[in-house]
Structures are given as C-alpha cells and as structure tokens.
Amino acid sequence: MTHELLNGLTSAEAKQVLGLGTRLIIPAGTELFRLGDAADRLFLTERGRIRLTLPMQVRSREEDIFVEERSPGQTVGWSALIPPYRFTLTATASLHEAEVIALPREALQGYFAANPAAGYKIALNLAVVIGHRLQLFQTMWVREMQRTVEVRSV
C-alpha cells in the first residue's frame, strides 16, 4: 500500500512512521470523527472508503451532505496537524467496512523533530493534499457562484 503522505520517504522511514500508528477497523456507516471534534489523530486509509460530509439544512432537517470520498492510500483528518486542531468535516465509513492507520499528532511531531528530513517530505506531501483540496473547492465555489450570477441576471 502506497500512502500519499509518505511519498518520497525511504521504506525504512515509511515503516517508522507507520509504526507510530494504530490500525482501526471502522464498521460500515460508523463515524470516524465528527465536525468540531478535537483533532489529535491523522488517518491513513488502508481499506474501504471514507465519506466526508458537512451538515446542511434540507427541508428543515439537518442532513449530512456528501463533500468528498477518500480511497485507500489517501489521507483523512489533516486538521490534526493544522491549528486549531478541530475537525471541519464529519468522516464516516462508506457502504463497506474501512480500515485506517491512526497517527497521533504528538507522536508525529516527535518523529518530525527527531527526523527533520523525513518530516520535511511529509510536510510537503501534506501541502499537496491540502493544496488539492483548496484548488478543488475553490473551483467548485466559483462554478457555483457563476451559476448564481447567471440565474440572477436573467
């Protein structure tokens, strides 16, 4: 399994980082974390899919609206490394059971301090993950705005 967060690391470094974590099995439909929860762990998806959702009012009911889905090899919950360390989405295992590796923030920060070269690579990989999310949502936002403007201009 190749994890996007561990790109460029030697196999020894990757093994060391994975050794910091704990494997978790998430039954189908079970929440991994909820929006607003304290984010003290980052997750690497090993198996299954994780749905990321945001609450939205639909017909006066609060519904979890699909935002994104993370596949094996992808990172979930990078809020654990970004202040104020609170999750900004809700993560749930999709239709099938999922397996993730939970990496505690403190353990990761300790590893980065002891292995700055590996920490630098992980930080760059994290920037790619966050940057992609930013580009994706920026594009979706401007497309939605464009539609709103077109509707109002008619």
Site for another protein in 23-82 (CB under 8 A): 58-59, 61, 63, 65-68
CA atoms of 16 and 1, how far apart (whole Å):
15
CA atoms of 148 and 143, how far apart (whole Å):
9
Q: Mention every residue, 6+ apart, whose C-beta is less than 8 A from residue 61.
A: none
Extended beta strands in 36-124, E state:
41-47, 50-58, 61-70, 75-76, 90-93, 98-104
Stretch that binds another protein, among 8-16, 71-79, 98-106, 131-139 (CB under 8 A): 131-139
Of 43, 135, 33, 45, residue with least CA distance to 86: 33
Q: Is 147 in the site for another protein (CB under 8 A)?
A: yes
Q: Is 132 in the site for another protein (CB under 8 A)?
A: yes
The 89-128 site mask, x for binding another protein (CB under 8 A), equals: ----------------------------------------
Contact 55, 64 (CB under 8 A): yes
Q: Is the peptide bond before 116 cis (omega within 30 degrees of 0)?
A: no
Q: Which is nearer to another protein, 22 or 139 (CB)?
A: 139
Stretch that binds another protein, among 26-34, 94-102, 108-116, 136-144 (CB under 8 A): 136-144
Q: Out of 15, 23, 96, 143, point to the residue binding another protein (CB under 8 A).
A: 143
Task: Report the interface residues with another protein, using CB under 8 A.
Answer: 58-59, 61, 63, 65-68, 132, 135-137, 139-140, 142-144, 146-147
